[in-house]
Amino acid sequence: MIPDRPISLEIFADEFPEMEEQARIIAEWADNVYVKIPISNTKGESSSSLVRRLSHDGVKLNVTALMTLDQVREVTTALTGGQAANVSVFAGRMADTGRDPVPMMAEAVDILKEAPNVELIWASPREVLNILQADAIGCHIITATNDILKKLDLLGKDLSDYSLETVKMFRSDAEASGLALSRRSARQAP
């Protein structure tokens, strides 16, 4: 259905032999398929050996759910010299923990220079600003939800105009609520 774009399809096994079997099956579906392999199984065991084996056997991979630079280094070593691959670092989830993802993502770009066959994905962005941040550091790919894509029209919007639009939206919401305040209702409030 999507013949001219890369598409990532994820395995769902948790044991490495079954993960490998599923990855090889999925890889056969089309030339543009990248098989998503998580950085570890649910026991926290690294999938880097499996990643190395699959990549060097010609399977295109999207190694996913990375959140540390140690993971980026480990996966880069496994993927270097193998098939084309993506590394998905979950910058949005890192930001959810109160960490600024930009410095780490910039360092991930530098680490991946060792593996020209690998592209970095800024995964799970939370706002349009993340698109600009990813571009500024040279990140290869950013995922984006429809909500974020709809906000792209706001790029460069005049903030005074946007402020007035916001005030008008608040007023419209207030009118639509049907609520009213008067001195009498204010005195009756607990």
Q: Which long-range contacts (CB under 8 A, 24 or more apart) does 135-138 make?
A: 137/102, 137/105, 137/106, 137/109, 138/106, 138/109
Q: Which long-range contacts (CB under 8 A, 24 or more apart) does 94-101 make?
A: 94/67, 95/126, 96/126, 101/133
Query: Which candidate in 36, 151, 157, 168 is catalytic?
Result: 36
CATH class for the region spanning 7-155: alpha beta
> Mind listing the pLDDT tens digit of every residue in the chain (190 residues)?
788 899 999 999 999 999 999 999 999 999 999 999 999 999 999 999 999 999 999 999 999 999 999 999 999 999 999 999 999 999 999 999 999 999 999 999 999 999 999 999 999 999 999 999 999 999 999 999 999 999 999 999 999 999 999 999 999 999 999 998 887 755 555 5
Residue showing tokens 């930009």? 102
Active site residue 36: yes
Around Cβ 19, how many Cβ atoms within 10 Å?
Answer: 21
